[in-house]
Amino acid sequence: MKSYIVIGLGLFGQALARQLCKLGADVLAMDIRSNVVQQVSADVTHAVVGDAKDKEVLRALGARDFDCAIIAIGNDLAASVLVAMNLMELEVPYVVCKAHDETHRRVLEKLGVNRVVIPEQENAQRLGRSLHSHNVLEYIELSEEYGILEVPAPKSWIGKTLRELNVRAKLGVHIIAVECGKKTNVAPAADYLIQEGDIMVVLGDNYALEAVQKL
């Protein structure tokens, strides 16, 4: 199980923490405001009140033991920079930080943050799926409910035809293409035999795509 610490529980931070937990992750949600911590406490693994600008607080929480830390602090550039520096000094393996504009993004990238996101460009649900799904190569959001997932063929699919898998009936998804090396088989026939190394391009609603990721 992957583990995350989400720092800053505004609308974006709360949505992201809930999405990661919904995907089966271990999530510690953190904010300096007790009221917002209370709002999310029932939906995540752990929720604590604390100031991430204090490195010793992060150390005491075992921040370095989490697979990923997400800084979802609002428009306070100084605070997000300080928290990012603390996390990197504690050697957290992967640090993601929310930015509110391109200047903020450039500052964070210069610090060495692994990934910087601007919420207006990338919503919390999409970010949650891409962070938690290490086997997902790409996720394209079509709407709030539907998307296209590009994922290596699950082991349970290898050696079977699309007709045998019948994923449309069983999972509610459509396989719209298969990438085989440098070739792309668009709208593959029902007798297509899935082989190791195939990349499946799958269309479906978010719940169905989450089911595919767990295979």
Instruction: Quote the tokens at residue 17.
Output: 């923490």
* Strands 146-152 and 174-180, bridge-based pairing: unpaired
Q: Would you list the domain boundaries of the chain?
A: 3-132, 138-213
What is the reported pLDDT for 47?
Answer: 97
pLDDT range class, residue 181, cuts 50, 70, 90: confident
What is residue 44's DSSP assignment? S
* Strands 174-180 and 199-205, bridge-based pairing: antiparallel
Work out the percent of the chain whose per-residue pLDDT is above 70: 87
Instruction: Please state the φ and ψ torsions of residue 126, each to the nearest 5 degrees.
Output: -65, -45
Average pLDDT over residues 33-48: 95
CATH fold for the domain made of 3-132: Rossmann fold (3.40.50)
Residue type, 160: K
What is the reported pLDDT for 130?
Answer: 61
DSSP-assigned beta bridge partners for residue 150 = 138, 201
pLDDT range class, residue 124, cuts 50, 70, 90: low
CATH fold for the domain made of 138-213: Alpha-Beta Plaits (3.30.70)
This prediction has a pTM of: 0.61
pLDDT range class, residue 106, cuts 50, 70, 90: confident
> What's the pLDDT tens digit per position in 48-99?
999 999 999 999 999 999 999 999 996 788 899 999 999 999 999 999 998 8
